[in-house]
Amino acid sequence: MVTIHLGAPDVPELWTVDSVRAVAGKGLEGDRHFHEDGAPPGQALTLVAAEVVDEVELQPGETRRQLTVRGIDVNALVGKRFRVGDVECFGVELCEPCSHLEEMTRPGIIKALAHRAGINADILVGGVIHIGDPVVEL
């Protein structure tokens, strides 16, 4: 894994952390998408491939995804169980780019990232995610 980004509600900037606690069924502690009462399916965790981020000339975090990972086909994790370090996850769906992302970055980014802007996932077994943790399909 390359980076971990968290954000707060109504604050456009994300910040980078070295580690974060992933809570099964809820999300990443301290993040704007943490759901104390339980996350809807696919809204606990987002991942994007660093190779795609590099190709479209964005910085890690600019895609608004929580985890930027390298060396794995993120899209191939949809419908599959995988681990990020010791945290077990399930890939729910592609996380398509939106107009908000385009407003935050540049015109044309929706087209550039279509079908490769990352995935939404559930957290099945919680734990701590660290920079450098491998992402492994189960």
Domains of the chain with bracketed CATH: 3-137 (2.40.33.20)
CA–CA distance, 65 with 84 (Å, rounded to integer): 15
- Which pLDDT tens digit goes with each residue over 62-95? 888 999 999 999 999 999 999 999 999 999 999 9
Q: Are 46 and 66 in contact (CB under 8 A)?
A: yes
Mean pLDDT (the chain) is 93
Q: Name residue, tokens 């964005």.
A: 58
Q: Are 33 and 43 in contact (CB under 8 A)?
A: yes
Question: Which has the higher per-residue pLDDT, 13 or 3?
Answer: 3
CA–CA distance, 87 with 70 (Å, rounded to integer): 17
- pTM of the shown model: 0.93
pLDDT at 13: 81
